[in-house]
Structures are given as structure tokens and as C-alpha cells.
Structure 1
Amino acid sequence: MGELDKLIERHQYLSKISVAFLYSIAVSVAVNMFWTPGGIYGSGVTGAAQLISTISHRWFPFDISTAIMYFALNAPLFVLSWRKIDHKFTVFTVIAVALASTMMHLLPPVKITADPLVCAIFGAVANGFGTGMALRNGISTGGIDILGIILRKKTGKSVGTINIMFNVFIVACAGFLFGWVHALYSAVSIFINGQVIDMIYNKDQKLQVMIVTSKPKRVITQIQNEMRRGITIVHDAEGAYKHEEKTILFTVISRSELHDLSTAMSLSDPHAFVSVTDTVKVMGRFYQAHIY
């Protein structure tokens, strides 16, 4: 590895650590300033940690803080991640979770408002922003991320489906233990949290691309050099304006590949007509890069 490669890698590591610190502040604000004062339970392991902390406070002779439970619940998942996923992925996950646990402990709880709906919304926005930024920069926040990746390999279910199933369990527990009003607000918070994450972390969103070109071979070669994507070719198309013979190419890409597509088109046929639209669902073979 050359000096330039080492410098780039070091910069990427520092960038990820900085984003992990940003996530730790965001989740701490969500838990300590909104969710806990409002009796709202977050999604995933954060919500589970809050539930256990509340149970210990009400019925145990000792209190277990959310910060300690958050790290404790993630600890066995680190082992799974190290063995089943990737070592580098696990290291950054440990850093993110450790920073979040530390910040939850250090940031004093502040009751900004007693309105549970306001707490649900603002807590979800804060946590969703931090989680979305972490995922966007290739960092896992632990918990359901790790379980989702492993269970996806075993069962074929998506990470989103696994996340929803776990969160339904959290909301049900909150309802049975502490009342269905808090469960309802927790469900609202979990939904908003997911929407904010999707707004920020959209690199895996699928896009359908239609290209109308008079240089199909150059375009196909350039796209396949830039991206690992299959292409469907429709011959003998005709432009209505000049009645020139055209070829239509169809492909599906991830939103993170938009820049690569633009580069490929500018190098192969800058005058081609390119239409990019959102794709609701993709069935069949589609190469999906690892999220770690």
C-alpha cells in the first residue's frame, strides 16, 4: 500500500470516528432529553435498553441505567459480528456503541417538555438523524443492524422486515407494562425515526435508468466498466424528431451509483437521452454490495 493509499485510509477512519461521535450525541439527546422524560421507547436495542431500565427502576431493588444496558445488550452481538460479518465492520460498531453509551451516561437528563407527542417526534428526529448519518458513512449502530445482516443471510428476510418485527415486540411490551398510550406514542416515534433514517440514508434506493443512444456499444462498455450492472437492449428504436435509428438501454442502479452513471454517460455518449426514475421493487437477480 502506497503513502497516498495510507493517507486516504487514515482519513476515512477519522471520518467514520467523527460520524460515530455525532451519532453518540444524537442518540443521547433523543434518549435523555425526549424519550425518557416523555415515557417513549425507541426502536431496536435502544428501546429494549430503556424497557429493562424502567423495569429495574420500578420492580428491582437496584437501578440499571439505559446507557449500561445499551452496551450490555450489544456486547454479545459484537461477538456474532466478529465471527459472522467482518472484523473492520465490528470495530467501528464497537466504537459507535461505546461512544453512545458514554454520552448517554455523561449527558444529564433534561426535561424540556412533558408532552409525550412532542417528545416522540423530536426524539425520533434526533435519533433518526444520527443513525442515518452513521449508516450513510458505512457505520453500523449495533443491535438490529447486526441481527438483521446475520438473519438476512439465514432466512432471506430483509433487514427492514426484521427491524419491524423487533420493534413490534418493543411496542407490545411497552403497552402491556406501562399503558397503551405510551405504546402508541412509541409506535409513532419508531415510525418517524425510520422515515428520517430513510431520508438521510438512501444509498440503497433502487433507480430505473432508461438510455436512448446512437452509440450503444460505447455506452454499454462504459457502464459495465464503471458499475456491476446488467443491461437490457432494445434495438430498432426511432427518434421522432430527426427519425434517426436509436437503441434503448434499460438498467437498474442504486442511488449511490448516480455519480458513476453520470461519469459513464459523459465519457461514452454525452448527447444521449437519459431518464432516471424511482423503482418500487426489484425482482430477480440484482447485485447488492455489502453494507459494511
Structure 2
Amino acid sequence: MKKAQSKKTRKAMLFSRGLIIIIGGFITAYGLEAVLIPNNVSDGGVTGLSIVGSQWTGLPLGILIAILNIPFIYLGYKQIGKSFAIFSILGIASLAISTSLMHHIPTIIEIEGDTLLVTVVGGIIIGFGMGLALRNGGALDGIDMLAVLLSRKLPFGTSDLILFLNLFVFIVVSTVFGLRGALMSGIAYYIASKVIHIIEEGLSSTKAVYIITEHADEMMKEIGDRLGRACTLQHVEGGYSKKEFKQIKCVITRLEESKMKETIQDIDATSFVTVYDVSEVRGGNFK
């Protein structure tokens, strides 16, 4: 009985994730067709190449998005797994179909001359849509997967390769939209990437705090009293001094960071503190 209920819950979760990814594709298509493309501004990645290809050949944007992403979907299947590939197919199909349906939708922002507002609004919209897809285990663009694969073969980081690949994309974009259009496309892509990060990580991101102190017991008690957070205690040894220390680890929200610093300062101002961003937290007293 419990196993059947668990299976039903899993199916419901997969369905909701798939639905959100479809909505993400729809939102991204709206940002492209109602904001960016009518104002001669493109996106980065495979979508940007598809926009250029559509302008060159006259083929529908949706068809090119679907065709050009096929090798990257296969790459995602081989490198990440079956579920990622299935969710990515769902997202890319949603994006491709939505762009076709919205091709003649009225432009919500149309400005002659200065297109900075267009890039900001368009970047926010497409970033929101892509972020929803990524947060739920899918993708709407395959160029990031290529960068991951190349980083394993070449002496460059993934972020460096993503930047390099998109520089190539924007050079291609400049052949259709001109240098100004390519620069605006780069700005829109940058804004979209920041919005994607916010959607993936959340506004109230969490942080892991590591504290090496000689007053570990008192520090943990105060953290519990002031912040209501539990701590983990580890015994560590100095690599050079060989002296033994106690290290406290505590996970807090971004809003609690200043209070944590105040607590550390009050108990042991000489303690050694490191703070790391945490992408996801489950269990404990975190909801």
C-alpha cells in the first residue's frame, strides 16, 4: 500500500515538473516573439542560431529550434541521463511549438532607436522561462551541454567555453541584426543568465558557515539561542601547527548572515570563519 502511494506521489511530481517545464518554454517563446525578435535583438545559444537561420532561410523558428537541438538532446542523454533528456525534449518542443503559435503576436515593447529597455525586459522574460525549466530538470537550449563536454577534452573551464561559444553565436547574429543588434543580444543574454541563476537558487539562498574556534561549545549554544539553528561539530588539525581545533558547521539563510556574524564577533572575534553559498538544502528545520 505504501509502495503504491509512493509510486503515485512520484508520478504526480514528475507530471508537475513536466508541466512547469512546458510553461517555461511558453514564457521563453513569448519573450522572444513579443519582445526581442521584433526589435532585432536575438538570444544566445542554439536559440540565437535558430533565429539567425530563420531570418536567412525563411523557415519557421520553431522548426529550426527543434532540429538544431537534436544533437544536444542526445548529448544530454549520454552525459546526464534519460530523465534529463526527456524533460529537455518536453521543454524544447514547448519552445518550438510556442514560437510558431506566437509568430504574429503583437509586440509589447517597440522602441525606435534606444533598445536598452527591450533587452532588459526580454532578458528577464526569457531568463524566467529558462530558469523554470532548469530548476525542474530540463533545458531549453543545448549549447551548455556542448560546453560541459568540451571542458572534459580541453584545458578550459565550462564557463569560459560557454562564453566563447556564445561569442561565436553573437558574431553570427551580427550578420543579420548588425553589430548593434549583436551587442544588445549579448546584453539580453547576460540579463537572462542572471535571472536563470535567481530562479534556480532562489532569492532566499542558503549559506554554509564554517567556524574554527576555541570556544566551540559556547558558540554553538549562542547560535542555537539567537538563530534557532543546529550545528555540526568536527575535530580538525592544523596542517602546519598540528594543533587540534574544533570546527563548527552551520547552514543558515541569507537573511540570517548578519546575525550570525554578530554572534561570532560577540563570542570569539579571533575565530577563523569561512562562508560558502549552498545551492540546495533538504531536511532538518529547512522547508
TM-score by length of 1: 0.71
Root-mean-square deviation over aligned CA pairs: 3.6
Partner residue, 1:210:
210
Deviations 1:172-214 (A, max 9, x none): 22224432121221121111111211222227x8945124632
AA aligned opposite 1:92: F
* Mapped contact 1:136–1:200 kept (Cα < 8 A): yes
Of 246, 254, 266, the match for 2:278:
254
How far does residue 262 in structure 1 lie from its aligned partner after superposition? 5.5
For 1:193 and 1:2, locate their aligned partners in 2 and report how far apart those are by CA, in whole Å.
Answer: 41
Of 101, 107, 124, the match for 1:111:
107
Partner residue, 1:269:
none
Q: 1:248 to 1:198 in 2, by over 3 A?
A: same
Q: 1:159 to 1:19 in 2, by over 3 A?
A: farther
Of 72, 77, 84, the match for 1:77:
72
Gaps of 5+ in 2: 220-230, 239-243, 247-263
For 1:166 and 1:15, locate their aligned partners in 2 and report how far apart those are by CA, in whole Å.
Answer: 33
Of 94, 98, 103, the match for 1:99:
94
For 1:148 and 1:14, locate their aligned partners in 2 and report how far apart those are by CA, in whole Å.
Answer: 29
Q: 1:22 to 1:236 in 2, by over 3 A?
A: same
Identity %: 20
How far does residue 15 in structure 1 lie from its aligned partner after superposition? 1.8
AA aligned opposite 2:120: I
How far does residue 12 in structure 1 lie from its aligned partner after superposition? 1.9
Partner residue, 2:15:
14
How far does residue 66 in structure 1 lie from its aligned partner after superposition? 1.1
* Mapped contact 1:232–1:251 kept (Cα < 8 A): no
State the SS of the aligned residue for 1:210. strand
* Mapped contact 1:85–1:150 kept (Cα < 8 A): no
Mapping for residues 184-263 of structure 1, pairs under 5 Å: 184-202=183-201, 207-211=207-211, 213-214=216-217, 235=244, 252=276, 254-257=278-281, 259-260=282-283
For 1:255 and 1:69, locate their aligned partners in 2 and report how far apart those are by CA, in whole Å.
Answer: 34
Q: How many residues align?
A: 245
Partner residue, 1:64:
59
TM-score by length of 2: 0.72
* Mapped contact 1:38–1:114 kept (Cα < 8 A): yes
Do structure 1's residue 179 and structure 2's residue 182 form an aligned pair?
no
AA aligned opposite 1:151: L
Partner residue, 2:149:
150
Q: 1:162 to 1:242 in 2, by over 3 A?
A: closer
For 2:129 and 2:235, locate their aligned partners in 1 and report how far apart those are by CA, in whole Å.
Answer: 36
* Mapped contact 2:41–2:181 kept (Cα < 8 A): yes
Gaps of 5+ in 1: 57-62, 217-221, 225-229, 264-292
